[in-house]
Amino acid sequence: MERNGIVPRWWARDEESKVLCRLCFRGCTLPPGTAGFCGVRANRSGTLVSPWLGRFCSRAVDPVEKKPLVHWRPGTLIYSLGSAGCTMACPFCQNHEIAHPKSPEGLLQRTLLLPPEELAREVRNLGIPSVAFTYNEPTLQAEYILTAAPLLKENGIALVLVTNGAMSGQVAAELRPWTDAANIDLKSFDPQHYKSLGGSLEAVKANIAAWVRGGVHVELTHLVVPGIVDTEEGFDAMTDWIASLSPSIPLHLSRYFPAWRYAAPPTDIGLLRALADRARRKLLHVHLGNVR
């Protein structure tokens, strides 16, 4: 149990005191004294610990369109908070300072411990209608989110997740009934590209489909990165797949800018617009993002 009383879940212990973490698709096996790929869940003497649960290093009040969500409660504000760690490792990560901190322990010391009751009370008192777990991978706070969600609902506050979609199917299923809206990154439609980013295309597709069919308002973001851009065939396959779920699913084509370990020039605006035109042949709501 962590200091806030929230117990890490989705794990098991083997006969050698190794911890089998099942939070994301990867299913890390952690020998004692080691952390998982995410950097924030670890094996301490044969027990899974997650000292970041309930601790946040980024908070802001944003327009909901900034998530981006443009077809869900437009014109409203959303209380946004983020923690540390990620279940993927994109070299162009815009939030690498918290997603992949150089000194996780140092960052941990500068965080705010925010009990679920305090979160619900603060957001209610501010008169803000929704909360977004964002900035880093929010499912690393899944135990906290599932504890806070009933309190948020009691206060009429909606729950939003901005996620890479790479959680395990079990975690996705437990979060789904509480999640009102989500923006999910669909980074590529090439399984090898996904693997190079530390992800799994099939896991993300399965979770997107489950949430769409389960009634969550889902919008998708596709960051168009030079050198990692799908071929026209791959892009068309992606938009075909999205349309097969529903042509009404909003797709945000976001412009890349150099960040962290990736120094390619920004995405050409002409390419972005051309891809948007292709996508609009099949999808009803295609938006350009990060266009300065």
pLDDT digits (tens, 9 = 90+) for 247-271: 999 999 999 999 999 999 999 999 9
User: Residue 117's pLDDT is what?
Assistant: 98
Say if pTM beats, i.e. exceeds, 0.85.
yes
User: Residue 35's pLDDT is what?
Assistant: 97
Rounded to 5°, angle at Cα 107 from 104 and 110: 155
**pLDDT at 3 > cutoff 80:** no
Sign of CA dihedral 126, 155, 2, 96: negative
d(CA 215, CA 107): 36
Cis before 68? omega within 30: yes
**pLDDT at 49 > cutoff 80:** yes
pLDDT-based confidence at 104, cuts 50/70/90?
Answer: confident
Among residues 84, 8, 82, 89, the alpha carbon closest in space to that of 43 is found at 8
Do the bridges between strand 158-163 and strand 29-30 make them parallel or antiparallel, or are there none, so unpaired? unpaired
- Looking at CATH, the fold of the domain delimited by 55-289 is given as TIM Barrel (3.20.20)
**pLDDT at 229 > cutoff 80:** no
In three-state secondary structure terms, 209 is helix
User: Residue 4's pLDDT is what?
Assistant: 67
Do the bridges between strand 181-185 and strand 158-163 make them parallel or antiparallel, or are there none, so unpaired? parallel
Among residues 247, 253, 249, 251, the alpha carbon closest in space to that of 270 is found at 253
Higher pLDDT pick, 229 / 84: 84
| Sheet strands (E) in 96-232 | 112-113, 130-133, 158-163, 181-185, 217-224
User: Residue 230's pLDDT is what?
Assistant: 63
Among residues 232, 205, 208, 193, the alpha carbon closest in space to that of 92 is found at 193
d(CA 55, CA 83): 6
- Domain positions in the chain are 11-49, 55-289
Among residues 111, 121, 163, the alpha carbon closest in space to that of 142 is found at 163
